[in-house]
Amino acid sequence: MKRLLTVLVFLPLFVWAQDSTYTLQGRIQNEQARPIAGATIILLKNTKVLQGVVADSTGFFELHRLAKETYQVQVTALGYESYTSPSFFLNRSPWNLSVIKLQPSKNTDLKEVKITGKRPLIEHDLDKTIVNVENLLSSATSHVLEMLEKVPGITVDTDGTIRSNGMSSVTVLMDGKPTYLSGRDLADYLRSLPASSLDRLELMTNPSTKYDAAGSALLNIKRKKERLQGLNGSLSANYSQGWESRTNQSISLQYTHQKLRLSGLLSHSKDGNQTREQVGRTFTEVSGQSEAFVNLMNRSWLSGHSLTGKLEIEYAFTKKTSLSLELDYTHAPKREGLSYLSKRFATELDSTGRGSIDTHSQRNNRGLSLHLQREFDRKGQEWTIDLTHWSYGNQSTQFLQNQSYNPHEVLVTDQRFRYDLPSSLLISTAKTDFTRPFASGGTLEAGLKWSHVTNDLDSRYYQRVDNEFIPKYRQSNHFIYQESIRSAYINARKNGKRWQGPGGAAARTNGAKG
* pLDDT per position as a tens digit, 231-256: 988 887 878 887 788 888 888 899 99
b/e map of 170-194 (b: 16 or more CB within 10 Å)?
bbbbbeebbbbbeebbbbbbbbbbb
Contact yes or no for 316/227 (Cβ under 8 A): no
Rounded Cα distance between 365 and 333, Å, is 12
Inter-CA distances, 484 with 392, 478, 506, Å? 18, 20, 17
Inter-CA distances, 54 with 28, 96, 192, 202, Å? 10, 16, 27, 13
In this model, does residue 175 exceed pLDDT 70? yes
Rounded Cα distance between 315 and 256, Å, is 10
Residue bearing the bigger pLDDT, 199 or 112: 199
Rounded Cα distance between 297 and 2, Å, is 18
Residue 10's pLDDT band (cuts 50, 70, 90): very low
In this model, does residue 76 exceed pLDDT 90? no
Residue 132's pLDDT band (cuts 50, 70, 90): confident
Contact yes or no for 431/448 (Cβ under 8 A): yes
| Predicted pLDDT of residue 241 | 81
Q: What architecture does CATH give domain 21-106? A: Sandwich (2.60)
Residue 43's pLDDT band (cuts 50, 70, 90): confident
C-alpha dihedral sign at 86, 87, 88, 90? positive
Residue 395's pLDDT band (cuts 50, 70, 90): very high
Q: CATH classification of 116-224, choosing from 2.170.130.10, 2.60.34.10, 3.40.1390.30, 3.30.420.40?
A: 2.170.130.10
Rounded Cα distance between 479 and 496, Å, is 52
Contact yes or no for 253/236 (Cβ under 8 A): no
In this model, does residue 2 exceed pLDDT 50? no
**Domain coordinates of the chain in residue numbers?**
21-106, 116-224, 260-514
| Predicted pLDDT of residue 136 | 63
pLDDT by residue (tens digit) across 447-502?
999 999 999 999 999 999 988 999 999 989 999 999 999 999 898 877 654 445 55
pLDDT by residue (tens digit) across 314-340?
999 998 999 999 999 999 999 999 999
Strand, coil or helix: 242: coil
Residue bearing the bigger pLDDT, 166 or 268: 268
- As a whole number, the mean pLDDT across the chain is 82
